Amino acid sequence: METSEFESAGRANWLDRLIWFAALASGVVLFAVMLLVATDVGLRYVLNAPFFGAQDLIEVSMVVVALLAMAYCARTNGHIAVDVFDRALGVTGRRVGNFVNQIVSIALLALLVLSAIHKSRDAFTYSEATNLLGIPLGYLYVVIVVGFLLQLLVVLGDLMQNVKGTAQDEA
C-alpha cells in the first residue's frame, strides 16, 4: 500500500483511520515533549530552576510516541528494509521470505500484546507509578497494548495480502 493511498480519506478503512489517528496523537505528544524539553532547558539555564518532573514526563511520553507511531510506519512502508538478496531470490523467494517474516512477527507481537496486558493488570493492581510525579504506569501499559495490537493488525493484513497475491499468481 502506497502512502498516497493510505492518506486518501475516502479510501481508508477503519483500521487505516485508527492507525492515522494514533500517529497523529503520537505527533502531538512529540510536539509537547519538544516544548517541555525547551522549557526545561530554558528554566535550567536562565533561572537555574529546572522543570520538576520533566524526566518522568519525557520518559512516559517517548513510549507513547514510539508505540503509537509504529503501526503507521509499518502501514506506509516506512520501516528500513534491506533488499540485498531480492534479485537472487526472485518473486517466489521474496514472497516466502515475507511470509516467514510475517508469521514470526505475528507470533512475537501476540506475545508482546499478552505480556503488556498482564503487565498493565499488575501495574493497576499494585499502583505502579513514576518516581517523581507518581504518574500511574497502568495507563502507559494500555498504550503499549494498543500500539502492539495495531502493529499486529497491520502485519496480519500484510500476511493476508501476501497470501492473496500468491493465490492470484497461481490461478
The reported pTM is 0.85
Sign of the alpha-carbon torsion through 32, 36, 38, 39: positive
Q: Residue 129 contacts by C-beta under 8 Å, 6 or more apart in sequence?
A: 135, 136, 137
> What is the count of structural domains for the chain?
1
pLDDT recorded at residue 171: 52
**Residue 105: which domain range?**
3-170
Task: Write down the pLDDT at residue 4.
Answer: 46
The per-residue pLDDT string of the chain (171 residues; one tens digit each, 9 = 90 and over) reads: 444 445 444 446 999 999 999 999 999 999 999 999 999 999 999 999 988 999 999 999 999 999 999 999 999 988 887 778 778 888 888 888 889 999 999 999 999 999 999 999 999 999 999 999 999 999 999 999 999 999 999 999 999 988 887 666 655
Burial 147-162 (b: 16+ CB within 10 A, else e): bbbbbbbbbbbbbeeb
Centroid of chain to Cα 11: 22
* Per-residue pLDDT, 109: 98
d(CA 150, CA 147): 5
- Report the C-alpha gap between 15 and 75 in whole angstroms: 10
Q: DSSP readout, 139-157?
A: HHHHHHHHHHHHHHHHHHH
Closest CA to 59 of 42, 78, 40, 79: 40
Q: Mapping DSSP to helix (H, G, I), strand (E, B) and coil, where does residue 129 land? A: strand
pLDDT for 8: 46
91 three-class SS = helix
